[in-house]
Chains A and B, each alone.
Chain A
Amino acid sequence: MAKSVAIKKKRAAGDDAQSQDAIFRGTSGGDATLNDATFKDKKSVRGTPNAALPAFILGEELANLADKDPRIAVLTADLANANRTNDFKRRHPDRFFNLGIAEKNMMTIAAGMASCGHVTYAATFASFCAILGAEQIKTDCAYPAMPVRLIGHHSGMSMGFYGTSHHALEDLAITRTIADLTVVCATDANHLRAILRASVDHPGAMYIRLGRGRDPEVYPEVPKSFRIGKAATLRKGDDMTIICCGSVVRASLDAADILAKRGISVRVIDMHTIKPLDAGAVRKAARETGAILTVEEHNVTGGLGTAVAEVLVEEDRIPFQRHGVPDEFVPVGPPAALYAHYKLNAEGIAKKAQTFLAKAGKH
């Protein structure tokens, strides 16, 4: 049964957006004894290098690719600042198109351009991408196999206090059910660079899910081994596997560190490609570690956890649990507070994993 909690948040210094003292009422889970450090939002850290901010490299990396490839064109819907496609516009003004606040139009136009030989990148908030343009993605992009790359940035609940209209916790569930659509989640800036480079000649349409552009670093350099559809094992472990993606990969790795100190050896897999899912990596993890916890910044219904469950249900039974946002609308709050509330920060994931293992009789 869900319990209501009231949490008082204190000022995170130097961060205007987060500076208001906020009180939010959660509707499930939650921990009434969170301290200030828990709420320190990564956004508020001064001097974070731009390279660690995925959305901030989006325009730059696309412009680099476009230097060598005349097919590349970029579209956005009045969010050129938020997603930094402005950096592309500066270098390739003839191949940049701002459609204003008309996302469906943007997606279909991107498909029309693609039919004439272009590889098009259409970027908007994730909250106004898959759920708003699902039919355009299906009918105009995926079905005719157009090389359109739909980029949903500020996904999950990373828009925090902007509220449900600006949260995207359904996008993986929606895109995953569209045939011939490739679905990839960026983990950090370098990872996004790898995804974009691999995307140029990838056949058919893609949905690329980005965090808020401030996701903490996981890959210190652009991963050379990156392949769409091939999961990356980031940490070895024998007692269980955390399969995660996107913004929660860093937190999952940190959780594995915490658990290691408690004598629990955790494998961590970055399942960046949700579709086609690397089912082989899931089976291998099940066989070798005997317990799987999925972690995602998404509704637990229909996303990564469900995709992994669809693989496991056809295998020998092992302890398995999905961890993410429960099937509810998220309360208003700063992102870091929401991650703590839903146990999607390192400490929360560690707690969740330990409880899971205890229940499974493994620890």
Chain B
Amino acid sequence: MSTLAARKGHNKQHEMLQDRAMFVRLETLRLSRICGAGHYSSTFSAAELFAALYYSHLRLDPKKPKWPDRDRFVLSKGHAAIGLYPILADLGYYKMSALDNYTKLGSHFGDHPNMKHIPGIDFSSGSLGHGLSIGVGMALAGRMQNRPYRTYVMLGDGELSEGQIWEAAMAAGHFKLQGLVAIVDRNQLCIDGHTEEVMGVEPIGDRFKSFGWDVQRIDGHDFDAIMPALANLKPAGNGRPQVIIADTIKGRGVKRMELSLQWHVANLAGQDYDDAAAEIRAGLQPLAKVGKNRG
């Protein structure tokens, strides 16, 4: 393949991924409207990460959701499930119409994901601080069963305040779980404010390093950064566990939500809904505000 053709293919893939990230944001609007409330901004910060993982990187077979050799994905920040559900439907785990009664009585789809009812959800989540331990268990199981899968855990930055995260980080380093990959959605805000004002989590990279992890720090909205970081990951084996700290913007994609504390859980109605949808369809625009601690 010529360099030009490779470049074209690369551009095409990025266009596709950008389109899917947009799809995640639009579906988040749609599902939130059904429910009357939604975790918009925590999902928007992870939209590019979701798209890259599910449409390009993870080894999955939607026809066989329990395939024992599949890569595992644990959404430790379970409140972003509203962005994951549409992806799983889009990939064929279930019909998109299954989401039409999102959060209604009798629906399998709540604000936080339930593995018992939703194909493609590898573990239920919702209580922050648990996901990395779940991932350690999955990675150890892979080792016991001699299966080559990797285990990915998406963490919020706010949940790094939970002590159990560091118990798990310590265990992953101790057991040399190279097949364990943590992705920190460093969107800067927890509910009550900026993480560094509420409870400082930096320096995240140094902290993971000191627990025996390999660290990459990237722009979590830029596929030119996300895709190489994912490609850099080592396969499962005996070695340092790996973390990608993705610097993101909480609420990215809708100006009024970006780095705003008002949109952690909220509801868009009427003209606001249409305005937000139009903004998302226009694609990511230059940032209105600059974050305080970009990597």
Contact = CB atoms under 8 A, between A and B. Distances in A.
Interface of A: 73, 94-95, 97, 99-100, 102, 104-105, 108-118, 135-136, 139-140, 143-145
For chain A, what secondary structure do more than half of its interface residues adopt (helix, strand, loop), or is it mixed? helix
B140 A108 contact: no
A143 B130 CA distance: 14
14 contacts: A73-B141, A94-B144, A99-B167, A102-B164, A108-B130, A112-B138, A115-B122, A116-B141, A117-B145, A139-B126, A140-B124, A140-B134, A143-B124, A144-B114
Given A109-B134, A109-B168, A112-B141, 15 more contacts: A97-B140, A102-B171, A104-B164, A105-B133, A108-B130, A112-B136, A112-B140, A115-B122, A116-B68, A116-B142, A139-B127, A139-B130, A140-B133, A144-B115, A145-B116
B134 A112 contact: yes
Contacts of A143: 124
A86 B192 CA distance: 46
A206 B144 CA distance: 23
Contacts of B58: none
Contacts of B170: 100, 102
Contacts of B291: none
- Which of A112, A135, A136, A140 gathers the greatest number of chain B CB atoms within 10 Å? A112
A116 B133 contact: no
A115 B133 contact: no
Interface of B: 68, 72, 74, 114-116, 122-124, 126-127, 130, 133-138, 140-142, 144-145, 164, 167-168, 170-171, 174-175
A129 to B, nearest CB: 15
Contacts of B145: 116-117
Given A108-B133, A139-B127, A144-B123, A113 B168 contact: no
Contact of B138 (A102, A116, A144, A145): A116
Nearest to A94: B144
A70 to B, nearest CB: 8
A108 B116 contact: no
A116 B174 CA distance: 21
Given A102-B171, A104-B164, A143-B124, A109 B140 contact: yes
A56 B124 CA distance: 35
Given A115-B122, A116-B142, A118-B141, A102 B167 contact: yes
Contacts of A102: 164, 167, 170-171
A97 B137 CA distance: 10
B124 A110 contact: no
A114 B124 contact: no
